């Protein structure tokens, strides 16, 4: 591969976006992490959100939170969040 297509600085930079999250020991952290992952996926920033939250896309640990977000999104008729949550739960 040509060096023109290699981003040598890509690793180790940390998340490309800054996410507002409570501390990891806060009971609200899993819900906030789930929402960050879903919203970031809508912007093509899943990897950045995974790094910021410490959870990978589709992590079983967040399924309950994502299901609650899906219920809220359906109630609010938020089609983007519905799509993201359904994709996460597949």
Average pLDDT on 9-37 reads 83
| Residues listed for the chain | 90
pTM: 0.81
**Residue pair 20/37 in contact by the 8 Å Cβ criterion:** no
pLDDT digits (tens, 9 = 90+) for 38-78: 999 999 999 999 999 999 999 999 999 999 999 999 999 99
Looking at residue 7, its pLDDT comes to 47
């Amino acid at each position: 591969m040509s060096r023109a297509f290699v981003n040598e600085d890509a690793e180790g930079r940390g998340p490309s976006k800054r996410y507002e999250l409570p501390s990891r020991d806060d009971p609200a952290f899993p819900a906030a992490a789930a929402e960050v992952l879903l919203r970031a996926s809508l912007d093509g920033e899943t990897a950045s959100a995974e790094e910021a939250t410490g959870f990978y896309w589709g992590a079983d640990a967040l399924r309950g939170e994502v299901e609650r977000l899906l219920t809220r999104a359906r109630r609010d008729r938020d089609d983007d969040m519905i799509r993201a949550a359904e994709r996460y739960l597949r």
